[in-house]
Amino acid sequence: MDETEVFWNRQIGIFKTSYINTIIILLNLICFAINFVFGDSLIERFEQRSDYVLAGVQYYRLITSMFLHADLEHLFNNMLILFFVGANVEHDIGHFPYLILYFLSGLGGNLTSVAYDFLHMEFIPSIGASGAVFGIIGAVIIIVIHGRKNLKKGSNLLIRLALMVMLSVYSGFTAANVDNAAHIGGLLCGVIITFLITIISKKEYTMEEWL
């Protein structure tokens, strides 16, 4: 059995046991299907609205907006990253810590968006799991840095990770209708939360699943 086959066999095992990640993806798909059937009523009721949050009402929008997407491309891009990257992060840090990471990163991203809107006095509704997804990317940064000693000699994983982060941030700033504040906030939350999880739980990362 060659290294490629070993890698994919390991990945399949990880996909099968990443329960929290799978549930999150299914919830996003279900919400998208419901919104598709009933029009935009779900989005209007549950989208992130900084003006409402600052007015002290409907705080639930900070969470519910994380499960809504504008169109199929928006949904596909976020779920694709979750499927491949999120599963590995859950495998590394554990099911419950992953749940905490996901929701706090999404919440942190939305709160950063609220702060940005307040500073600029522009209150534009937003939706999407991007803040939480960027939190997952932030988690990978800590996992790779902490476990880099276990990388195979000659591995370019650190370079690929740096390029992925830069490209993700850059694409957000060059695209229209993107909540970049939520992306940056989610990324920073992911880095901080995973760092704390790693230190408190004394996590060790083999890096086998990232090679």
Q: Annotate 99-131 with DSSP letters as a single string.
A: HHHHHHHHHHHHHHHHHHHHHHT----B--SHH
**Tokens in use for 9?**
């066999």
Q: Is residue 47 a contact partner of residue 126, using CB atoms and an 8 Å limit?
A: yes
Catalytic residue from among 69, 74, 91, 183: 183
pLDDT tens digits, one per residue of 119-132: 988 888 899 999 99
Tell me what pLDDT residue 44 has: 86
Q: Which domain holds residue 128?
A: 3-210
Cβ-contact 105, 157 below 8 angstroms: no
Type of residue found at 122? E
Task: Give the model's pLDDT for residue 115.
Answer: 94
Which residues are within 8 A (CB) of 107 and not within 5 positions of it... i.e. 6 or more apart? 62, 63, 131, 189
Total structural domains within the chain = 1
Catalytic annotation, pick one of 120, 130, 155, 201: 130
Report how far apart, in Å, the C-alpha atoms of 173 and of each of 105, 115, 135, 178, 180 are. 19, 18, 17, 7, 7
Read off φ and ψ for residue 164, nearest 5 degrees.
Answer: -65, -45
**pLDDT of 3:** 67
Task: From first to last of the 211 residues of the chain, give the pLDDT tens digit.
Answer: 566 777 778 888 888 999 999 999 999 999 999 988 887 778 888 999 999 999 888 999 999 999 999 889 889 989 999 998 999 999 999 999 999 999 999 999 999 999 999 998 888 889 999 999 999 999 999 998 888 887 777 677 777 777 877 877 777 666 667 788 999 999 999 999 999 999 999 998 887 666 5
* Whether 105 is catalytic: no
What CATH number does residue 146 fall under? Answer: 1.20.1540.10
Phi, psi dihedrals of residue 48, rounded to the nearest 5°: -75, 125
The question of whether 130 is a catalytic residue gets the answer yes
